[in-house]
Amino acid sequence: MLQIPLSRSFCVFRARPLMAHSSMSSCSRSQEKARLRGVVFDMDGTLTVPVIDFAAMYKSVLGEEEYKAMRARSPSGIDILQHIETWSSEKQQKAYEIIADFERQGLDRLQIMPGAIELCGFLNSKKIRRGLITRNVKEAVDLFHLRFGMEFTPAISREFRPYKPDPAPLLHICSTWDVQPNEVIMIGDSLKDDVTCGRRAGAFTCLLDEKGSLKPRKRRLGISWQSPTKSCGTKF
Ligand SMILES: [Mg+2]
């Protein structure tokens, strides 16, 4: 049992049955007892301490009124990247510049999440692969690798389309590793991006609930729930 010294809450979601993309041979393999072969992490707010003020970023991109209207339409969160894809190229370019500016400011204050280095050391000792999927740009991933000396391979950034919550980046990693999605766990701090991506791919998922805003629903989700004031034990 690895004790991760985090004062945070985790929700672990079971893997769904494999999706239609699986071949016959992979189906029979999936019926064998699955073991954990890889862990795929989100970056911002999961491997790094959250530093980007997303509300301020969205307001700058959308304007105050449009931001309020979108919040009312989508209380679970705004998918800014998807939203601006429908804009004209000139307007889109401006939006990307604003987003890049916020992300650049975030890079200046980049901090590793407490416990992340220990967890990666543990995964190394068990020879469990580590991958990364982020909606941030490749430049940010390169800086993250450089600054903290941890390598995640593959590390998929915003340049890969379609991005999370589409399962494509996670399925790409599984295919690169030659493992089944139900042999992988996706860990992230976003229910709508990370957990959705993992579940759509058929992987196990783990939500890092930084604010402790989700209530545990043990029966349906098989949740491992810890008080925000206690350390969290994760069994591999
Ligand atoms: Mg995140």
Say what the pLDDT of residue 115 is: 92
The Å distance, Cα 29 to ligand 1 centre, comes to 32
Q: Could you count the other beta carbons within 10 Å of the beta carbon of residue 153?
A: 12
44 is catalytic: yes
The Å distance, Cα 48 to ligand 1 centre, comes to 9
What distance in Å separates the CA atoms of residue 83 and residue 4, rounded to the nearest whole number? 37
Say what the pLDDT of residue 221 is: 39
Say what the pLDDT of residue 159 is: 93
Between 7-11, 42-46, 201-205, the lowest mean confidence (pLDDT) is in: 7-11
Sheet holding 129-133, edge to edge: 9-13, 204-209, 184-188, 38-41, 129-133, 155-156
The Å distance, Cα 64 to ligand 1 centre, comes to 23
The Å distance, Cα 63 to ligand 1 centre, comes to 23
3-state secondary structure of 130: strand
Q: Give the active site residue among 44, 189, 194, 209.
A: 44
The Å distance, Cα 156 to ligand 1 centre, comes to 13
The Å distance, Cα 99 to ligand 1 centre, comes to 15
What distance in Å separates the CA atoms of residue 79 and residue 121, rounded to the nearest whole number? 33
- 184 or 228: whose pLDDT is higher? 184
Say what the pLDDT of residue 50 is: 85
Say what the pLDDT of residue 183 is: 96
CATH architecture of 38-49+111-207: 3-Layer(aba) Sandwich (3.40)
Name the amino acid, one letter, at 117.
Answer: I
pLDDT digits (tens, 9 = 90+) for 93-124: 999 999 989 988 888 888 999 999 999 999 99
Whether 10 shows a pLDDT value over 80: the answer reads no
Q: Give the active site residue among 42, 193, 194, 209.
A: 42
Average pLDDT for 187-209: 95
Q: What is the DSSP letter of 69?
A: H
Report the alpha-carbon angle 185-213-168, nearest 5: 30
42 is catalytic: yes
pLDDT digits (tens, 9 = 90+) for 181-191: 999 999 999 99
Say what the pLDDT of residue 184 is: 97
Q: Report pTM.
A: 0.74
Buried b / exposed e over 85-115, threshold 16 CB at 10 Å, is: eeeeeeeeeebeebbeebbeebbeebebbeb
Say what the pLDDT of residue 146 is: 92
Domain with CATH 3.40.50.1000 in the chain: 38-49+111-207
- CA-closest candidate to residue 128, choices 235, 21, 16: 235
Asked if residues 120 and 97 have their Cβ atoms less than 8 Å apart, the reply is: no
Say what the pLDDT of residue 218 is: 45
Could you tell me which residues come within 8 angstroms of residue 200 by beta carbon, excluding any fewer than 6 positions away?
Answer: 19, 165, 166, 167
Say what the pLDDT of residue 138 is: 94
The Å distance, Cα 44 to ligand 1 centre, comes to 4
The encoded tokens of residue 129 equal: 């692969």
